[in-house]
Amino acid sequence: MELVDNQVAVITGGASGIGRTTAKTFADHGASVVVADIDEDGSDTVAEITENGGESTFVQTNVSDPDDVQQMIETAVEEYGGLDILYNNAAIEGPVSQLHEYDNNSFEQVLDVNLKGVWYGIKYAIDAMLADNGGSIISASSIGGEVAVPQYSGYGAAKAAVSHLTKYAAIEYADEGIRANAVAPGIVRTEMIERTIEEHPEMEEQFQETEPMPGLADPQEIANAVLFLGSDLSSRVTGVTLPVEGGYLAQ
């Protein structure tokens, strides 16, 4: 079943990990996908989609630059005639550090990408969706935005703000046909987690045991939740942060 047939989706951070898998999943389900990433490897995601018969365009985007984000949304409108779905997925992990030792510049970078980037995305997507028939905006939060995860204060604060911002977008545009939700993954086997394990090998065992369900999540398990929130299957769902974390937050 094609859940987002003929829809236009923009996915940030589509060069890697969850974003890459989500871009391919949306294309498999019939969407035209704009892959946006600061890393030009996003064009590899596009190549994979088009080789499989899908429709996709890459636009190099720094989500912390409002002009870039505006250009990203315009690309969807110009190439495919509108915007139905935005997944604000791009983020950086920042340092793993106790709060009092957390580097100030790193904190600003984390806020610039993980919070301001999402805010710009929501803002310019709403502009395009108001001009069209509404749409669905999904943003990447994290378990670290729901509860405090030691040594992730900057990242967690930004993610908590993403979930809260999502509620504002949901209520302000509920009568305009625009829904806004977030997903809160636990520990997902992606390049982001691999980088952390490389720098802090002692964390691998901790990651393996974080979620009550065994092991780490597969990026596809997050992409499936984003697909649900992007499609009409979730037509009455707005303003929520959907945990996809093997039961972590139920404890």
128 sits near ligand NAD (criterion: CB under 6 A) = no
Residues 38-57 that bind ligand NAD (CB under 6 A): 38-39
Quick one: which of 248, 247, 226, 94 has its CA closest to 156? 94
Residues 190-249 that bind ligand NAD (CB under 6 A): 190-193
| Beta strands at 241-244 and 178-185: parallel, antiparallel or unpaired | parallel
Q: What is the three-class DSSP state of 73?
A: helix
> Mask: binding to ligand NAD, 56-95, rule CB under 6 A, as x and -?
-----xxxx------------------------xxxx---
What whole-number distance in Å separates Cα of residue 157 and Cα of residue 1?
A: 38
| CA of residue 200 relative to chain centroid, distance | 24
13 sits near ligand NAD (criterion: CB under 6 A) = yes
Quick one: which of 136, 139, 138 has its CA closest to 176? 136
Asked if 58 contacts 13 with a C-beta cutoff of 8 angstroms, the reply is: no
Residue number of the CB atom closest to ligand NAD: 17
What whole-number distance in Å separates Cα of residue 126 and Cα of residue 169?
A: 9
> Shortest distance, CB of residue 211 to ligand NAD, whole angstroms?
10
> Looking at 25, 32, 142, 234, which residue binds ligand NAD (CB under 6 A)?
142
34 sits near ligand NAD (criterion: CB under 6 A) = no
> Shortest distance, CB of residue 170 to ligand NAD, whole angstroms?
19
Name the one residue in this structure whose structure tokens are 């250009």.
71
| Interacting residues toward ligand NAD by CB under 6 A | 12-13, 15-19, 37-39, 61-64, 89-92, 113, 117, 140, 142, 185, 187-188, 190-193
